[in-house]
Amino acid sequence: MIDSFEKIPVRIAKTPKDGARLVALEMATLIKEKQSLGQQCVLGLATGSTPIGLYAELVKLHKEEGLSFKNVVTFNLDEYYTIERDAFQSYWSFMHRHLFNHVDILPENINIPNGELPKEGIKQYCRQYEETIEKAGGIDLQILGIGNNGHIGFNEPGSSLFSITRLVTLENSTRIANARDFQGISQVPRMAITMGISTILKAKKVILMAWGNKSAIVAESVEGIVTEQVPASILQQHHDCTFVIDELASGDLTRFKSPWLAGGCEWTNQMIKRAVVNTSLKLNKPILSLTTNDYNENGLSDLIVEKGDSYEINLQVYYMLRDSITGWPGGKPNVHIPAHPERSSPYPKRCLVFSPHPDDDIISMGGTFMRLVEQGHDVHVAYQTSGNIAVTDEFVTRFMDFAVGFEHMFDIDSNKSQQILKEAKSYLSSKKLHQADSADIRAIKGLIRRCEAKATARYVGLKDEQIHFLNLPFYETGTIEKNPMGEKDIEITMKMLRALKPQQIYCAGDLADPHGTHKVCLDIVFESMRRLKAAGDDWVKDCWVWLYKGAWQEWDIDEIEMAIPMSPDQVVKKRFGIFIHQSQKDAVPFQGSDTREFWQRAEVRNAGTANLYAQLGMTKYAAMEAFVRWKY
């Protein structure tokens, strides 16, 4: 169905895995159809995090259902320039790692732009790439991902509609986004060879996939004007293009974000809250000042017709927002406040904070963490992963120097630690770019982060027996690519939960982080809770789960169910708590697209939430942390 706002058909799968399966089946059908006609099937392929699940599904279809790739010819969209073909980060390696090494495609049928050629030969080479596509009969099905700036292939904003395969310069935002695969932005190549927009438009069929946090650019591409500034919007001009996205990536489409504009919606309390909050923010008017005219002029006449009086609606939303604010995250003891986000009893509560990395607890909910402790709850923290890949090598030798010096100072035999230090120094000095650390180095890096986490938890007021390190095995690959959630991860988490029987849990609810560590950590908690519930563990019924967002973003204001205000002093106290994570200060490896330090991000975000509440007409606090309840 093409919704009136959507100019490209959009298929929405529940999860990225479902979406990948759907596309894989469509590809398999095409490959088999071509096989039965004795023809080759020409596929245009993409790299990046998006198609990893698709390739896994194709490999599965090959292994379990005998799907053959003998008649398949592939053309990859792009390759970094310059990059050695065999480098871990090259798209050549990526494609072999995820697909080609596991299926029966003929090596001579694989075409990936060559990122090693001298510059003089590139123009000629690109022309040949186009000719080879034409000679193969053109691309039958082109798979695309999308950059947050709307790029397709490496056609950055401003790329011409008529562009063909060529050498391009990567936008800084693209290099920052892709820095996750390299150890830092400076190592990301500055250029790439990419098929052009016109090359892509010539494909007979195009499928663009997008998961999770791509919702804004998906909506812009599908609903916005066609412009070279948003290359993916040009796909509106293709006669057979479909977007396959997951539910999270669909969140900014008008039919979901503002369904009242897309032809009627059911006015649930949540929907009313969203519509009124959005209108209030858009008009920059406090909620209680919105008039019937404001409703009518902003697509909400339907709501007025259904509910009657605008002021009544204003009040309803105002109370919802007001009641989400509390200084008592564990519930206020000995009083009965029905609209309070948490129950007042039992008091005190056993609370468990799950922290995916060793610093997410303090960064994302440090103020709440401290309040829970101050208000007398039995607060525990469980660090889910070791976080060992995000420590620079310099820290290893610095801390080992300390260990050797410490032993020496107290006449402890330091021969062994000196030996380990010597080996570490020699290992690190000959370590190649992108080489994974040895098990010893990883263990030392993990220890460094554990000590920082312990120091922070103590600073918050926890005793050692309230600090738990789960060291979930899915994380321990030594590289950025992690394993999926495994049985052992669930077993460890269930054991922790059963031992504590918490009445309140906090975890990082980064739902739109399909390939990241936070999402896996969240899935592990969800799955553990589901299993415990199914197993009849009684305490689970009385356990409430609150989700905070990790370091990267915040809940939409209309989603927030519990907002914990912070005083200016608490903001500073939280900042000092974040500072304790020294290995994460300044330039950390795998910084991502935001170059600010974690404490800066946390402060801007918490102040931002407080400001939005104030803009809506609530009391203005210095900062606020925000939570959404997960009902399972």
> Exposed (0-12), middle (13-18) or buried (19+): which is 138, by Cβ within 10 Å?
middle
Q: Which CB atom, from 142 or from 310, has the smaller least distance to ligand F6R? A: 142
Please, what is the minimum distance in Å from the beta carbon of residue 80 to ligand F6R?
10
Please, what is the minimum distance in Å from the beta carbon of residue 515 to ligand F6R?
8
Q: Strand, helix or coil at 206?
A: strand
Residues 53-92 that bind ligand F6R (CB under 6 A): 77-78
> Which residue number is nearest to ligand F6R in terms of Cβ?
145
Q: Does 145 bind ligand F6R (CB under 6 A)?
A: yes
For the chain, first and last CA: distance in Å? 31
Please, what is the minimum distance in Å from the beta carbon of residue 193 to ligand F6R?
11
Q: Which CB atom, from 479 or from 600, has the smaller least distance to ligand F6R? A: 479
Q: Contact, 242 vs 207, CB < 8 A?
A: yes
C-alpha span between 606 and 601 (Å, rounded): 9
> Exposed (0-12), middle (13-18) or buried (19+): which is 459, by Cβ within 10 Å?
middle
Please, what is the minimum distance in Å from the beta carbon of residue 130 to ligand F6R?
17
C-alpha 249, offset from chain centre: 11
Considering only 44, 113, 147, 446, the residue that binds ligand F6R (CB under 6 A) is: 147
Please, what is the minimum distance in Å from the beta carbon of residue 9 to ligand F6R?
19
Q: Does 386 bind ligand F6R (CB under 6 A)?
A: no
Q: Which CB atom, from 77 or from 424, has the smaller least distance to ligand F6R? A: 77
Q: Does 221 bind ligand F6R (CB under 6 A)?
A: no
**Tokens 């060879």, located at residue:** 193
Q: Does 197 bind ligand F6R (CB under 6 A)?
A: no
C-alpha span between 93 and 81 (Å, rounded): 14
C-alpha span between 369 and 43 (Å, rounded): 51
Residues 153-182 that bind ligand F6R (CB under 6 A): 153-154
Which of 6, 57, 79, 156 does the annotation list as catalytic?
Answer: 156
365: tokens are: 């909910």
Q: Does 375 bind ligand F6R (CB under 6 A)?
A: no
Q: Does 246 bind ligand F6R (CB under 6 A)?
A: no
Please, what is the minimum distance in Å from the beta carbon of residue 192 to ligand F6R?
8
Q: Does 47 bind ligand F6R (CB under 6 A)?
A: yes
Q: Contact, 382 vs 454, CB < 8 A?
A: no
Q: Does 46 bind ligand F6R (CB under 6 A)?
A: yes
Please, what is the minimum distance in Å from the beta carbon of residue 570 to ligand F6R?
36
Q: Which CB atom, from 46 or from 390, has the smaller least distance to ligand F6R? A: 46
- Give me Rg for the CA atoms of the chain: 27
Q: Does 231 bind ligand F6R (CB under 6 A)?
A: no
C-alpha span between 332 and 345 (Å, rounded): 8
Largest CA distance in the chain: 83
C-alpha span between 402 and 387 (Å, rounded): 21
Q: Contact, 145 vs 51, CB < 8 A?
A: yes
Q: 116 an active-site residue? A: no
Angle, CA of 218, 219 and 221, to the nearest 5°: 65
> Exposed (0-12), middle (13-18) or buried (19+): which is 334, by Cβ within 10 Å?
exposed
Binding-site size for ligand F6R (CB under 6 A) equals: 14
Q: Which CB atom, from 44 or from 366, has the smaller least distance to ligand F6R? A: 44
Q: Which stretch binds ligand F6R (CB under 6 A): 18-26, 142-150, 221-229, 320-328?
A: 142-150
Q: Does 50 bind ligand F6R (CB under 6 A)?
A: yes
Q: Which residues are catalytic?
A: 156
Q: Where along the sequence are the contacts to ligand F6R (CB under 6 A)? A: 46-50, 77-78, 145-147, 151-154
